[in-house]
Structure 1
Amino acid sequence: MNLFYLEALFYLEALAAIVLSMSVLMAGAWVVQQRTGNSGWVDTIWTFSLGLVGAASALWPIAGAGPNPRQWLVAALVAIWSIRLGSHIAVRTAGITDDPRYAAFASEWGADSSRKMFVFLQNQGLGSIPLLFAIFVAARFPQSALRLQDYLGALVLVVGISGEALADAQLKRFRTNPANNGRVCDAGLWRWSRHPNYFFEWFGWLAYPVIAISAGDPLRYPWGWAALLAPIFMYWILVHVTGIPPLEQQMLRSRGERYRDYQSRTSMFFPLPPHKGVAA
């Protein structure tokens, strides 16, 4: 059996371990959701689970050796992302009785909501595989010493985390002002994008392709190209599936014409200067 097939077998084994780990952890999220009745904890557990499994996969031994500097760097990056976002979601969840998005699903599912929620969360765990595999392949770039690319990847993630944290803080500050009750936040980053927190979340996942793909020799590490799955998948999820579509529907129900006006002058995803009458 040649080296490529041995390597492919190893990657498949790692992938199976990642799938099993996320399945078990999301089953735990389902138990918490069922017992508390607050589905907001689902996103908290998913974020911490992704950080835990991602860091573990980054530190997966290479040829029996201890973790090299790049493995530690990638593990640290995903851990920092997980702790920041997971803590933010946990604080938000503690202040609500239920997440309106998941509550809408439960209402639609009716008496079968418990079973369908379990299946939904298992699918959410499986949907994390492109993200986790990107982390795994980035950590295993075949050179132990850190390169300029690795530092650039770290910078990309820092910018993503910082931008998302700033957007979250601006939105929280807007909502805690009683004068803004019923209004739409269009201050700071929210003037340039209707979902700047989602944009920076997506931007941060570009860190792993930057680390995984060799700039000087793109074919040196073919597995590195799999890291592109992370930003591609995250963009699809945020823009077309569980991110923007249900959130904008909710905002239209609660804010009506005010939100339609906001849509007409503010870019949906990528931060762009406000333009009256055009929704990007």
Structure 2
Amino acid sequence: MNELRWGAFGWNVAVSAGVVLAVVLTAFLIGVRTGKHRGVDVAWGLGFAAVAVATYGVSAGEGDAARRLLVTVLTAVWGVRLAVHIGRRSRGHGEDPRYEQLLAKAPGNRQWYALRMVYLLQGALIVLVSLPVQIAAYATRPLSLPLSFFAVAGAVVWAVGLFFEAVGDRQLARFKTDPAHRGRLMDRGLWSWTRHPNYFGDFCVWWGLFLIACEAGPLPALLALVSPLAMSYLLIGGSGKALLERHMAERPGYAAYAARTSGFFPRPPRRG
């Protein structure tokens, strides 16, 4: 990525921000109309897919065509799958307790508070976290072996992540549909190897996309590193694993499950 392409990349970031703003504002209007703001979680995945598609169009002629297509497809597949899964999971349910608790503390108008603290905040995170997708589109090194080691490695890590996320979500959904499992903890399949296969999957997806962006050069790679670091924090110590486990800690059998099952990175369950 030379000096001239930095200008084009900056324009790409601006376009991506505009696209994300359109996505989150649409979700906000739907939330106001329905009285439920949990739809912002659907907009999360769709926002990344929108950035990937917009970047593919804006970066035409700026980077290697094969790499541009690769990051677009990988990001869009991940984002749309996540949005569809969350949309199906939330169908027929009321407001998400997280947003209900947050908005109960709103100083003033709840809707404007939701716009600022939920929608616009998540929109800003989408633009930040999607930096590897945008940067990779401007890498000019041809996508051909052996120069594309990072692209191949990144795609493999991304695939591992999608597997854990998609299979873990599917296993949990099937477990919950069985009335015999009501009140029981999911501790089978991937959930016996890690307490959070879906979060671990997200972790791998964004580290994989970061690896692809590394081929843009040292300085762009350093900028792209912000993305997987931010996602790692959110998934492990922020609104992901840490928050969920605080809610799960009092459930019967959870202490024993936590003792034998890895908290994040997969490993065989301990015997005991």
User: What is the letter of the counterpart of residue 31 of structure 1?
Assistant: L
Q: Deviation of residue 66 (structure 1)?
A: 8.9
Corresponding position of 1:241: 238
Structure 2 runs not aligned, ≥5 long: none
Q: 1:51 aligns with which of 44, 49, 52?
A: 49
Structure 1 residues 135-162: Cα deviation after superposition (integer angstroms, max 9, x where no partner): 0111221123443432332222222112
SS at match of 2:39: helix
Please say if residues 143 and 151 of structure 2, whose CA atoms lie closer than 8 Å, have aligned partners that are also in contact: no
Q: 1:118 to 1:17 in 2, by over 3 A?
A: same
Q: 1:61 to 1:256 in 2, by over 3 A?
A: closer
Q: 1: CA distance between counterparts of 2:245 and 2:107?
A: 23
Q: 2: CA distance between counterparts of 1:30 and 1:92?
A: 19
Q: 1:32 aligns with which of 27, 30, 44?
A: 30
Q: 2: CA distance between counterparts of 1:165 and 1:66?
A: 30
| Mapping of residues 134-145 of structure 1, within 5 Å | 134-145=132-143
User: What is the letter of the counterpart of residue 39 of structure 2?
Assistant: W
Corresponding position of 1:93: 90
Please say if residues 175 and 181 of structure 1, whose CA atoms lie closer than 8 Å, have aligned partners that are also in contact: yes
Q: 2: CA distance between counterparts of 1:61 and 1:137?
A: 10
Q: Deviation of residue 192 (structure 1)?
A: 1.8
The answer as to 2:71 corresponding to 1:70 is no
Corresponding position of 2:228: 231
Q: Deviation of residue 265 (structure 1)?
A: 3.1
Q: 1: CA distance between counterparts of 2:220 and 2:31?
A: 37
The answer as to 2:80 corresponding to 1:83 is yes
Structure 1 runs not aligned, ≥5 long: none
SS at match of 2:165: helix
Structure 1 residues 107-158: Cα deviation after superposition (integer angstroms, max 9, x where no partner): 3337642222101210111112222211011122112344343233222222
Please say if residues 157 and 206 of structure 1, whose CA atoms lie closer than 8 Å, have aligned partners that are also in contact: yes
Q: Deviation of residue 67 (structure 1)?
A: 7.0
User: What is the letter of the counterpart of residue 118 of structure 1?
Assistant: L
Corresponding position of 1:267: 262
The count of corresponding residues between Structure 1 and Structure 2 is 268
Task: Using CA pairs under 8 Å that are at least 6 residues apart, name the structure with larger relative contact order, 1 or 2.
Answer: 2
User: What is the letter of the counterpart of residue 211 of structure 1?
Assistant: I
Please say if residues 59 and 72 of structure 1, whose CA atoms lie closer than 8 Å, have aligned partners that are also in contact: no
User: What is the letter of the counterpart of residue 231 of structure 2?
Assistant: M
Corresponding position of 2:21: 23
With normalisation by structure 1, the TM-score equals 0.85
With normalisation by structure 2, the TM-score equals 0.87
Q: 2: CA distance between counterparts of 1:136 and 1:115?
A: 30
SS at match of 1:17: helix
User: What is the letter of the counterpart of residue 73 of structure 1?
Assistant: L
RMSD: 2.5
User: What is the letter of the counterpart of residue 208 of structure 1?
Assistant: L
User: What is the letter of the counterpart of residue 61 of structure 1?
Assistant: S
Corresponding position of 1:152: 153
SS at match of 2:267: coil
Please say if residues 64 and 142 of structure 2, whose CA atoms lie closer than 8 Å, have aligned partners that are also in contact: no
